[in-house]
Amino acid sequence: MPLVPTSITGLAMSKAAPLTLSGDKLQPLISAVANATAAYIMSVGMSNPTCTVLGPGAGTFTGQILNLTPSGMSSQMMLLASPQGLAGRDIKKLFDSISFGVVQAMKTVIVVGAVIGGGPGIGQGKVLGVVAKGLEAQILGMEAVKVIGGTKLQPLVSCIAGGICNHITQAATVMATCVGAFAGPPAGPVTIPAAAATGKFA
């Protein structure tokens, strides 16, 4: 299942409500972040897990993204906010809300791809290709953000994008389940302990 912007927005807003976070600019900001994050991650996100499979042969894999936490992502944003001079009682609430929406939505995303030289088995990898500057540019390019403005917008977006990308690349693990055909005797099956695989977000 792909990353859905409306899902991120809805989840983030549901988190914001009990935190008493409100304001006429909140929805446009969260919506812009959600749309940009979904579009960016789905277009550039990938993983190259290393798999233990039976081979020789050819196969495919489906990967689930694990180990992301809203608190971890929000903490990354807060680390970036302090040097930027961003403070106030609501800044952490905003980061918590956005992080909750992104992380919960990411749990539905899968990575799919091909396994080189092997068939059924399992593997593990990291998320690649996600860069903070790329996401930051995408958020700032969204129409919804243009209605917000202000001197703090760019630093704020920089912290949000950095927190999202840093947490995903540092903490996320892609657990791959490999399927496919392997050669019969005399060529196989043999265990291939480090079969390379490559896949994209789907």
CA–CA distance, 172 with 188 (Å, rounded to integer): 34
Task: Tally Cβ neighbours within 10 Å of residue 159.
Answer: 25
Residue range 161-167: average pLDDT?
Answer: 98
Instruction: Give residue 2's pLDDT band: very low, low, confident or very high (50, 70, 90).
Output: confident
CA–CA distance, 28 with 196 (Å, rounded to integer): 42
Instruction: Give residue 147's pLDDT band: very low, low, confident or very high (50, 70, 90).
Output: confident
- The ranges assigned to domains in the chain are 5-201
For residue 1, pLDDT over 80 is answered with no
Residue range 132-156: average pLDDT?
Answer: 90
Instruction: Give yes or no for a contact between 144 and 36, defined as CB atoms under 8 angstroms apart.
Output: no
Look at residue 185 in the predicted model and tell me its pLDDT: 92
Write the pLDDT tens digit of every residue in 104-115.
999 999 999 999
Write the pLDDT tens digit of every residue in 5-20.
999 999 999 999 998 8
Query: Token pair of 90, please?
Result: 């609501």
CA–CA distance, 190 with 196 (Å, rounded to integer): 15
Write the pLDDT tens digit of every residue in 49-101.
999 999 999 999 999 999 999 999 999 999 999 998 898 779 999 999 999 99
